[in-house]
Structure 1
Amino acid sequence: MEYMIGVDLGTTSTKAVLFDDQNQVVAQANYGYPLYRDEPDMAEEDLDEIFVAFSNALGSVIRQANLAEGNKITAVSFSSAMHSLIAFDKDWKPLTRVITWADTRAVEFADDLKKSGLGQEIYSKTGTPIHPMAPLSKLLWLKNAHPDIFQKAAHYLGIKEYLFHRLFGTNKMDISIASGTGLFNIFNQEWDAQALELTGLKPEQLPKPVSPYEYETKMVAEYAAVLGMPADTPFVYGAGDGPLSNLGVDAVKPGVAAITVGTSGAIRVVSDKPVIDPKGRTFTYALDKDHWVVGGPVNNGGDVFRWARDNLFDAEKSTAALLGRDAYDLMTDIASRIPAGSNGLLFHPYLGGERAPIWDANARGSFFGLNHSHTRANMLRAVLEGITFNIYMVSLALEEVVGSLKSIQATGGFAHSPLWRQMFADIFEQPVTVPESIESGALAAVIVAQKALGEIDDLYEISKYVGKSATYQPNPENYEAYRELAPIFIRLSRQLQTEYDNIANYQRKHNVK
């Protein structure tokens, strides 16, 4: 048998999925790592912990492939979280941990850049909104807050590029990841001179931009031995997790949106060219040079559901364990007993600041409309609805840029929940389809590898492998309630935004992490 492996480098875990030659899942392994929040607004990962998780996940599925029996791994390909930044000295010793997309310590510098005309000018060339998530802002923060690190830094990579450097000694970045840095001109597909001048970087401090279809075949012997695979196995660079999520659920036709809710979330559509929003609300990232993903990301997805589990439903965690059930399944059962609209309780899910649609790292979460009749169950359903309302707000901005949406393909952890799927269908008033392959990012990475190796002619081959497990139609009894509440949610988000800076500064003053 011949196999390919799709590796999904996520924010809190790395997953490896083994596919057979019919693109069917044979095995998978997932290893987690902590997100360090040692100070307010920090969100970092440890390089060695990520490398160990990657090695364990990859090694696990390689063992399950039974190479000793004559089977073969024909390629390993990657889907990767975007916007990470790591500084290295001239000898390639790391000067920082992985500064992730969720780190918002650059908020002051992003805000200053947004207020100047220069921010919109750079966005119009890079397609990356001005926000602390982007390496552009992180570099401005490093330069001003940690000049000792900035002066020593000779190289900057993201997490996937670090893994390739460690395995192969390379210094490259695929254009998909590069397009999310805020430093890459998406029109000439080179590092942008104006962005480099602003940050004080030289082009040689950044990796060489390469096609997502480029691959390496000369792995360091030590790591090949640890992983248990031939050193000449092709490792394909692949692309960012957002663009590959669209490909992985076959959301590549006009008007077909992909919605992903994992730790964070996003809504995206595919265009044949870069599309810039005059208001700077949406991103444009490359899948490859001919496919561009336009959309908006949100910070607050499944991590907010986890917050509700840990802080509002701690007792149910123990109950679920005793019953042999998943705590989230038990919670969604509880939430399903509450009518749509949570009896007039709204929740703004901005526990980690927010990217689209408000692009405000100082945003904070809140319940609105609480009265004596509301229970924990109301609060739980309001949390799920608040995450969904927020992504609906992003979709309204997206439609201004790319036109109306016709249908939704859903993926990520929320796609396991029938309640949440129906909630999206009702709030968006659009059919929501869940593909059979939940491992859409890994599958898409494998499709990229097959094109890289000449096994297929184009990416649209993926439609053969993405079936439908279910389609949810809007329920008129529910969407009438949501039609009333959505405008209140949107207006309220604008009104509260006038005070986000003040409450965030208070929290920083008192070291609230």
Structure 2
Amino acid sequence: MTAPDLVPDLVLGVDIGTTATKAVAFAPDGTEHGRGESPHRLDEPEPGAAVQDPEALWEAVGDAVRDAVADLDPARVATVAFSSAMHGLLALDAEGDPVGPLMTWADSRATETARELRRRDGALALHRRTGTPIHPMSPLVKLAWLRRARPSLHATAHTWGGVKEFVLARAAGARVADTSGASGTGLLDLATGTWDPEALDIAGIAADALGEPVAPTAVVGRLRVRDWGLPTGVPVVAGGGDGPLANLGVGGVRPGVAACSIGTSGALRVTVDRPAVDPRGRVFCYGLADQRWVVGGAITNGGLVLDWARETLHRDVDDLLAAAAAVPAGADGLLALPHLLAERAPHWDSVGAGAFVGLHRRHGAGHVTRALLEGVCLQLRLVLDAMREAGQAVDEVRATGGATRSELWRRLLTDALGLPVGFPAVDQGSAFGAALLGMQGVGLLPPGPEGLEAAAERVPLGETLHPGPDAEVYDARLPLFEQVHAALADVGAALDR
């Protein structure tokens, strides 16, 4: 068969994450035909800052795409669809080029602004309308902070967006914002799918400073980049936020099935058929696609706690995990509050202050490591309980992310959540979720919610674990974990100032 006779049968899912961009070529049945990955650097130029160079991110996207299609006939690629880390904020000039760095979700410089906004009348109503907690991660809060702390940048920026909006504009000439990623900005009204007037007023910007909201399955343009190893003219599908797309990519779109991810950070989400926000403001609600949303919570401190242990204890990760596995559940009486960075769900209190409680001379590197991992899993259990108290039934979990490659992490997560946890064979959930939206966008999958459910059936499931005897240990530890957080919240906030 000659190249002109080829029928495009592959979709490229590109996930622009915090630590790397990953591009994977998928067939409609979920089989993988090529992948590429390019790492990112996260800079901390001042206290609280967590920024990235957008031009370096652009180069990383190109590198990952080129590697993914290097051994393929590019004529086989039917579309390119994108996922990206949520809550980033980037100022752009009139030409669509970046003005300064990307403020990532981990940037906490707007912490005091978030506290002030949470005290405003109508703060909880704003959370309910937009689905996004008032927290330093939120672009709404970042914009309010920039308005006061960086007035020149705030006033001179022509438009605002995140990394995906920047990439879509440069790659396909599309000045848009998909409603999935936009639902994590704190600026989008979930019910109407339009920019919220009160949020815009707080941010100090007009609606035309943001991209036009579009469906995540929308074909927003044609590829015009010539050095990605793909022909120009390939349809580009908007895609969505990495969190909601991870639900789709691991098959977590049926009622009662939650998706959990533990990478640098972590999250737990369940898919719903109408926007729903906890009346107490403990969970988020973000858009997926086609009348589907996800409700849940994100935690800041996931796998990064293991990186901290490696750097601090001067042991490699495999040694630390082996030492932790040799320690009994409960870490021999050591409890860790693993809040190395300002934590998010379910308290959203912006306090970045961890602690070890019950530390004794008998404790070593294995105890410290296990206590940290248990703390991460207990934080996710708090998110699960908040989701249930908000009316969301959760009966099983699908888990993905780098941490789930560890047998110890898998067991701790299953026992701490107290639910069956399945581990999909697809290890790039957000990239696969983006690819599935791309398939819908170009007609390789049926449209609408039925298409999403059909897509979920294509996710191959690997191992499933069930809670073991140690689940009782974590049930008993959970109230103590909550008590430690409550007791140290004011102390942590005071030390953080």
Give the TM bin, normalised by the shorter chain: over 0.9
Q: Which residue of 1 aligns with 2:484?
A: 492
Question: For residues 213 and 423 of structure 1, what CA distance do their matches in structure 2 show?
Answer: 36
Question: For residues 467 and 87 of structure 1, what CA distance do their matches in structure 2 show?
Answer: 40
Preserved CA contact (<8 Å) 1:3 1:65: no
Question: For residues 53 and 255 of structure 1, what CA distance do their matches in structure 2 show?
Answer: 36
Counterparts in 2 of 1:456 and 1:397: CA distance versus 1, 3 Å: same
Secondary structure of the 2:287 match is: strand
Question: For residues 348 and 194 of structure 2, what CA distance do their matches in structure 1 show?
Answer: 26
Q: Which residue of 2 aligns with 1:147?
A: 151
Q: CA deviation at 1:404?
A: 3.5
- 1:24 and 2:25 matched: no
Q: Which residue of 1 aligns with 2:85?
A: 81
Q: CA deviation at 1:214?
A: 1.0
- 1:112 and 2:116 matched: yes
- The number of aligned residues is 486
Q: Which residue of 2 aligns with 1:325?
A: none
Q: Which residue of 1 aligns with 2:496?
A: 504
**Offset from partner CA, 1:379-418 (integer Å, 9 cap, x none):** 0111110110111111111111133421111111121111
Secondary structure of the 1:402 match is: coil
Pairing 1:374-389 to 2, within 5 Å after superposition: 374-389=363-378
Q: Find the partner of 1:59 among 66, 76, 80.
A: 66
Secondary structure of the 2:164 match is: helix
Q: Which amino acid aligns with 2:370?
A: R
Q: Which residue of 1 aligns with 2:259?
A: 258
Q: CA deviation at 1:348?
A: 0.8
Q: Which residue of 2 aligns with 1:322?
A: none
Q: CA deviation at 1:500?
A: 1.9
Q: Which residue of 2 aligns with 1:165?
A: 169
Q: Which residue of 2 aligns with 1:433?
A: 422
- TM-score normalised over the length of structure 1: 0.92
Q: Which residue of 1 aligns with 2:13?
A: 6
Question: For residues 220 and 475 of structure 2, what CA distance do their matches in structure 1 show?
Answer: 51
Q: Which residue of 2 aligns with 1:283?
A: 284
Q: Which amino acid aligns with 2:293?
A: W
Q: CA deviation at 1:453?
A: 1.1
Secondary structure of the 2:222 match is: coil
Question: For residues 136 and 22 of structure 1, what CA distance do their matches in structure 2 show?
Answer: 39
Question: For residues 156 and 24 of structure 2, what CA distance do their matches in structure 1 show?
Answer: 38
Q: Which residue of 1 aligns with 2:3?
A: none
- TM-score normalised over the length of structure 2: 0.95
Counterparts in 2 of 1:26 and 1:289: CA distance versus 1, 3 Å: closer
- 1:332 and 2:325 matched: no
Structure 2 residues not aligned, in runs of 5+:
1-5
Root-mean-square deviation (Å):
1.4
- 1:299 and 2:303 matched: no
Q: Which amino acid aligns with 1:461?
A: A
Q: Which amino acid aligns with 2:250?
A: V
Question: For residues 312 and 165 of structure 2, what CA distance do their matches in structure 1 show?
Answer: 36
Secondary structure of the 1:227 match is: coil
Q: Which residue of 2 aligns with 1:46?
A: 53
Question: For residues 453 and 36 of structure 2, what CA distance do their matches in structure 1 show?
Answer: 27
Q: Which amino acid aligns with 1:48?
A: E
Preserved CA contact (<8 Å) 1:363 1:497: no
Q: CA deviation at 1:437?
A: 1.1
Question: For residues 444 and 96 of structure 2, what CA distance do their matches in structure 1 show?
Answer: 36
**Offset from partner CA, 1:434-471 (integer Å, 9 cap, x none):** 11111221111111111111222111122332222111
Q: Which residue of 1 aligns with 2:333?
A: 344
Q: Which residue of 1 aligns with 2:245?
A: 244
Structure 1 residues not aligned, in runs of 5+:
318-327, 506-513
Q: CA deviation at 1:289?
A: 4.0
Secondary structure of the 2:113 match is: helix
Q: CA deviation at 1:283?
A: 0.5
Q: CA deviation at 1:21?
A: 4.7
- 1:209 and 2:213 matched: yes
Q: CA deviation at 1:228?
A: 2.2
Q: Which residue of 2 aligns with 1:511?
A: none
Question: For residues 176 and 114 of structure 2, what CA distance do their matches in structure 1 show?
Answer: 26
Q: CA deviation at 1:37?
A: 0.6
Q: Find the partner of 2:136 among 127, 132, 135.
A: 132
Q: CA deviation at 1:480?
A: 2.3
Q: Which residue of 2 aligns with 1:363?
A: 352
Question: For residues 203 and 119 of structure 1, what CA distance do their matches in structure 2 show?
Answer: 20
Question: For residues 390 and 163 of structure 1, what CA distance do their matches in structure 2 show?
Answer: 33
Pairing 1:436-451 to 2, within 5 Å after superposition: 436-451=425-440
Preserved CA contact (<8 Å) 1:87 1:157: yes
Question: For residues 369 and 116 of structure 1, what CA distance do their matches in structure 2 show?
Answer: 38
Question: For residues 77 and 93 of structure 2, what CA distance do their matches in structure 1 show?
Answer: 35
Preserved CA contact (<8 Å) 1:217 1:231: no
Preserved CA contact (<8 Å) 1:109 1:140: yes
Q: Which residue of 2 aligns with 1:36?
A: 43
- 1:461 and 2:454 matched: yes
Counterparts in 2 of 1:168 and 1:404: CA distance versus 1, 3 Å: closer
Preserved CA contact (<8 Å) 2:320 2:365: no
Question: For residues 93 and 243 of structure 1, what CA distance do their matches in structure 2 show?
Answer: 27
Question: For residues 148 and 243 of structure 1, what CA distance do their matches in structure 2 show?
Answer: 34
Question: For residues 305 and 117 of structure 1, what CA distance do their matches in structure 2 show?
Answer: 40
Q: CA deviation at 1:159?
A: 0.2
Q: CA deviation at 1:363?
A: 2.8
Question: For residues 7 and 304 of structure 1, what CA distance do their matches in structure 2 show?
Answer: 27
Q: Find the partner of 2:94 among 74, 90, 96.
A: 90
Preserved CA contact (<8 Å) 2:380 2:417: no
Q: Which residue of 2 aligns with 1:353?
A: 342
- 1:15 and 2:4 matched: no
Q: CA deviation at 1:95?
A: 2.1
Q: Find the partner of 2:180 among 169, 172, 176.
A: 176
Counterparts in 2 of 1:280 and 1:62: CA distance versus 1, 3 Å: same
Question: For residues 204 and 4 of structure 1, what CA distance do their matches in structure 2 show?
Answer: 32
Q: Which amino acid aligns with 2:300?
A: N
**Offset from partner CA, 1:223-261 (integer Å, 9 cap, x none):** 22x112111111111111111111111111222111110
